[in-house]
Amino acid sequence: MIERYTLPEMGRVWSDEHKYELWCRVETLVLEAHAAAGRVPADVVEPVRSAPPPTAARVAEIEETTQHDVIAFLTAWADNTKPRSAAAYVHHGMTSSDLLDTALAVQLTEATDVLLAKADRLVTALRDHGLAHRDTIKVGRTHGVHAEPDVWGHRVADLAFAAARSRDRLRAARERVGVVAISGAVGTYSLIDPSVEVAVARALDLRPADASTQVVIRDSISEWVAALAVIATVCEAVALEVRHGQRTEVRELSEAFGSGQKGSSAMPHKKNPIRSERIAGLARVVRAAVVPVMEGIPLWHERDISHSSTERVFLPDAAVTTDYLLHLTTGLVENLVVDAERMRANLDSTGGLIYTSAVLLELVEDGLSREDAYALVQTAAMETWNSGTPFRETLRARAAASGVTLDEARLDGICRPEGYVRQLGPLFDRLAALT
């Protein structure tokens, strides 16, 4: 991922420098397990443990000849080992994927921990914002059209619970990707004792794979990427709400606009939802990772390399992008500007059409058939749409023409937005308990 969207902590997880540090750590743990079991000389461990990781530049230089990144790494690291002869026992009984998959598992869990911390912050921001607006009346919209009264906090609560569920899915996926596989060329432990795998897993606070061939099958990594895609898409759902709310015709929500900020090179009046639009665009990048990574599940027999290039691109990019998306979305929510007066004005702008559902039921309860009640209310509503005459007036006229008596006092009571949201208390109790 380009630097523009890479935050330092997550960038460090996927850096070449950190990757080679992890490779050194995994190889050292394997060597220590061999030495403890008496399979290799004990005096080779300290020279290897003390050898500094090779630089990315040196590994790349050797790889130009070897065309094999692990051999290039082992050669470069051996050059840093004193005496170099101690490095002869590095990678003992292993195959490249033992190193690659185990180190990748560490990177995936490290990246997940960074993401979970940011996801917690987003859940908190949404929860607190929703509770702060539990009484902020707005119009609910379906198909983009005014439907019934609602409160802004209700919409935010829905997003908060979605963010929390998405975070919890990622936490579950972390457990499944955190596996160690050190089982040899085709996973049969032909040249390495299974106890080495157990010892390395314990040292890394991971668990041995249930089974492996030359690689760990990619179903769990696919699940992990899918969890990131869901998080990214929930972030987009938050952003989409803001994008709609900031439209000139709506003006209920807006992103914070800082002193000195500019919206357009040509139009000085512009205040655009650029953060929300960036979230929408980057969510597509994360979703794009799902299918290519999933296609790494079916490999030829015990392993081919078709998954490798895909993962080198999509795993870091998906993690880095999701990290940035969580950062952006949290900032969006924490600094969101809500215009409660505009929300109320928009709610009233259709002349009472938002109360048709309650009026329909009132007429049914007064003895009309549902079909007759619906026809009466719809005819009055269409007249309001077309003429702008308030709904109560068109309803009164249509009812009189049809010989239907209206209980005006009762209609006064039901044509109030507060009545539509009176039963949301338990929802906000659940929201307050969300962690």
Residues catalogued as catalytic? 143, 264
Neighbouring residues of 86: CB distance < 8 A, sequence distance ≥ 6: 43, 44, 47, 48
- Residue among 412, 379, 414, 407 nearest 394 (CA): 379
| Four-point Cα dihedral 416, 421, 425, 430, nearest 10 | -160
Query: Tokens 């490249």, residue?
Result: 96
Token pair of 145 as six digits: 């059209």
Could you tell me which residues are beta bridge partners of residue 343?
A: none
Of 1, 228, 203, 201, nearest in space to 101 by CA: 201
Number of residues in the chain: 435
- What is the separation, in whole angstroms, between the first and last Cα of the chain? 31
Phi, psi (rounded to 5 degrees) for 335: -115, 15
Peptide bond just before 268 cis, omega within 30 deg = no
Report DSSP state, residue 150.
Answer: E
Rounded distance, CA 416 to CA 397, Å? 21
